[in-house]
Amino acid sequence: MTDISKMTEKDLCFMFDHTNLKAFATTADITKLCEEAEEYGFRMVAINPLHTALCSELLKGTDVHVGPCVSFPLGQNTIEEKCTETLLAISQGADEIDYVTNITAVKDGNWAYVEREMRTIADICRAAGVLSKVIFENCYLEKTEIEQLAKISLRARPDFIKTSTGFGTGGATVEDVALMKQTVGDEVQVKAAGGIRDWKTCKAMIEAGATRIGCSAGIQILEGFRAERGV
Using only the alpha carbons of the chain, give its radius of gyration. Answer: 16
Helix (H, G, I), strand (E, B) or coil at 15: coil
CB 63 within 8 A of CB 42: no
DSSP one-letter string for 190-217: EEEESS--SHHHHHHHHHHT-SEEEES-
Active-site hit among 17, 95, 133, 162: 162
Plot region of 179 (φ>0 → left; ψ -120 to 50 → alpha; else → beta)? alpha
Active site residue 191: yes
DSSP-derived secondary structure letter, 9: H
Active site residue 186: no
Active-site hit among 98, 133, 176, 181: 98
What distances in angstroms separate CA 33 from CA 41, 46, 52, 196, one per listed residue?
12, 9, 13, 17
| Distance from C-alpha of 102 to C-alpha of 119, rounded to nearest angstrom | 13
| Distance from C-alpha of 219 to C-alpha of 41, rounded to nearest angstrom | 11
| Active site residues per annotation | 98, 162, 191
